[in-house]
Amino acid sequence: MSAADFTPNPYLPEYLQQIEQQRAVEAALLSRRSFIKVTGLAGGGLVLAMSIGPGAEKAAAQAAVSKTFAANPYVQIRADGKIVLFAKNPEVGQGVKTSLPMIVAEELDADWQQVEVQQSVIDAALYGPQVAGGSTSTPTNWDPLRRAGATARAMLVSAAAKTWSVPESELSTENSVVRHAASNRSASYGELAAVAATLPVPDAASVTLKPRSSYRLLGKRITGVDNEKIVRGEPLFGIDQRVPGMVFATFTKAPAIGARAVSANLAEIRALPGVKDAFIVTESGNPIIFSPAGPTVLSGVAILANSTWAAMQAKKQLQVTWDESGASRDSWTGAVAQAKAIAAKPAAKVLGEGGNVDGAFAAGETVEALYTYHYVSHADLEPQNCTAWFKGDSIEIWRRRKRRRPPSMASRRCSACRKTGSRCTSCAAAAVSVAGSRTTAFAKWPPSPNRPAASR
């Protein structure tokens, strides 16, 4: 499926139409790739036709993608020369939406001017862990992304060798072009895409990587790929998502972890201007035991209104009776006291020894200070928020977060559903996790039938 084959819902704002279109195209390509895995071919339209749409749509999609080349989930080369690179990790200001695709582009020998970067879907089977944390995005992705780019490049070189009946060793690549110097022939990646798509995918471990000395892109300053959207104020962040008929909600959490909302002045709140509904959210799981994949829904009170402001104003009038009998007793004062007590004790264990510490202190001037820092979250400027679009049989969620891993489905059921093995609406909602401070990506439950089975 190509962008041209997608019929957008005319009732959606333009940017949502674009997102929907992007998702349709990505889903088609990804499904094609899952088939590719089995056959070992980069694939063309024929493969795609097996997994999407009835009759005429199928044929149209087949014609449209047969000229698009996707060697792996990171690279897509279209017949018009456009190179789409997928950024897998959340962009939270560290620049990975630009730098990770640059790694692919370097090994691909792509012309950066032809590159369009898109945020990838969240899919552990395709991309592995998709998180931002510990400055690990670049080191952990360096090798896989180089190989992703080099694999695609190798296939484009093979395509040219096959087309011109010349040995691959006589070919060179630069700026999205394969050259045969001996015969003065050249072809753009776009021109080679259709042939490359029919070739076997080489083993990523065996592809030749460029030596550092021949890097053209890495080490150069490349302006951030989202900069234009940012300076134009285009919708880019989690909080910018808008869906048809959207209402705005606040959620009032318990004052202590593990406390439960028993009752609230809900009737009074519902009567306030702009308020559409207010209700108590029943907790599930055990919020005291932190588990990244855990089935935790905190108890609290939700207020739904026709604007964020109306919801916030109503929240000021909210009175909740909490049951704190099962709540955590942890507190900041308690944590400080505990830290002081531990620090006052002699070291329980020497972890390492080296140099002459006492001598160094005795020899020079010493400065003493004690720094403490209170317990805070990342304190980012964008407030915590989440947009959910319930469509009857599915729910899509946009979130701004560092962790993009979809939680394990098995662990995401409420107690009632765990017994029956089914999944109620709230379990389905909890099962979806989507990301990125800047995000156009989102997950969907239930997954689209043509997504790879391994992603579920």
Partner 1 sequence: MLSLDVNGKTFEVGDDVDPKTPLLWVLRDALGLVGTKYGCGVGQCSACTVHLNGVPIQSCQVPAESAVGQRITTIEGLSATGAPLTAVQQAWIEEDVPQCGYCQAGQIMRATALLARTPKPTDEQIDTDMAASICRCGTYTRIRKAIHNAAAKLAKTGGAS
228 binds partner 1 (CB under 8 A): yes
Letters for 433-452 (x = contact with partner 1 by CB under 8 A, - = none) are ----xx--------------
Residue 218 binds partner 1, judged by CB under 8 A: no
> Contacting partner 1 (CB under 8 A), which of 226, 299, 439, 440?
226
C-alpha–C-alpha distance, residues 182 and 203, integer Å: 29
Site map 239..258 versus partner 1, x via CB under 8 A = xx-x-----x----------
Scanning 34-42, 50-58, 86-94, 157-165 for contacts with partner 1 by CB under 8 A, the matching segment is: 86-94
Decide whether 212 or 316 has the Cβ nearer to partner 1: 316
Distance, in Å, from the CA atom of 199 to the CA atom of 155, rounded to the nearest integer, reads: 7
- DSSP letters of 277-337? EEEEEPPBS-TTS--TT---B--EEEEEESSHHHHHHHHHH--EEEE-TTS----HHHHHH
Pick the binder of partner 1 from 168, 234, 277, 330 (CB under 8 A): 234
Whole-angstrom Cα distance, residue 236 to residue 241?
A: 8
Binder to partner 1 among 35, 164, 237, 251 (CB under 8 A)?
Answer: 237
Q: Is 277 in the site for partner 1 (CB under 8 A)?
A: no
Stretch that binds partner 1, among 36-44, 322-330, 377-385, 388-396 (CB under 8 A): 377-385
Binder of partner 1 out of 3, 39, 93, 128 (CB under 8 A): 93
Asked if 224 interacts with partner 1 (CB under 8 A), we say: yes
Order of strands across the sheet with 275-281? 248-253, 300-305, 275-281
Minimum distance of partner 1 from residue 37's CB (angstroms):
35
Rounded distance between C-alpha atoms, residue 382 and residue 376, angstroms? 15
> 3-state SS string over 247-290?
CEEEEEECCCCCCEEEEECHHHHHCCCCEEEEEEECCECCCCCC
β-pair type (115-119, 83-87): parallel
Residue closer to partner 1 by CB (options 223, 325) is 223
Q: Does 219 bind partner 1 (CB under 8 A)?
A: no
Residues numbered 297 to 316 that lie near partner 1 (CB under 8 A) are: 306-310, 312
Output the smallest distance, CB 360 to partner 1, in A: 33
Q: How far is the CB of 195 from partner 1 (least distance, A)?
A: 35
The angle at the Cα of 41, spanning 194 to 80, to the nearest 5 degrees, equals 20
Helices (H), 92-216: 96-108, 124-127, 137-164, 189-196
Closest by Cα among 156, 233, 224, 142 to 187: 156
State in angstroms the smallest separation of the CB of 57 from partner 1.
Answer: 31
Per rule CB under 8 A, is residue 271 in the interface with partner 1? no
Task: Rule CB under 8 A: say whether 341 interacts with partner 1.
Answer: no
Which residues on neighbouring strands pair with residue 234, listed in sequence order?
none
Shortest distance, CB of residue 243 to partner 1, whole angstroms? 11
CA angle in degrees (0–180, nearest 5) for 283-398-291: 40
Q: Which of residues 233 and 355 has its CB atom nearest to partner 1 in the complex?
A: 233
Q: What minimum distance in Å lies between the beta carbon of 144 and partner 1?
A: 25
The H-assigned helical ranges of 109-136 are 124-127
Shortest distance, position 400 Cβ to partner 1, whole Å: 9
Amino acid at 414: C
Query: Residue 180: which H helix or E strand, with range?
Result: strand 177-180
| 71 vs 105 by CB, closer to partner 1 | 105
- Is residue 318 within the footprint of partner 1 (CB under 8 A)? no
- Kindly state the number of chain residues that form the binding site for partner 1, as judged by CB under 8 A: 39
DSSP annotation of 437 reads S
| Three-state SS letters, 52-112 | CCCHHHHHHHHHHHCCCEEEECCEEECCCCCEEEEECCCECCCCHHHHHHHHHHHHHCCCH
Task: Assess 101 for contact with partner 1 (CB under 8 A).
Answer: no
Region of 17-25, 43-51, 123-131, 225-233 interacting with partner 1 (CB under 8 A): 225-233
- Spatial distance between the Cα atoms of 86 and 91, rounded to a whole number of angstroms: 12
Q: Give the nearer residue to partner 1 in terms of CB position, either 186 or 306.
A: 306
Distance separating alpha carbons of residues 235 and 439, to the nearest angstrom: 9
Asked if residue 381 binds partner 1 (CB under 8 A), the reply is yes
Q: How far is the CB of 438 from partner 1 (least distance, A)?
A: 7
The binding site for partner 1 (CB under 8 A) comprises 13, 91-95, 221, 223-224, 226-228, 230-237, 239-240, 242, 248, 273-274, 306-310, 312, 379-383, 437-438
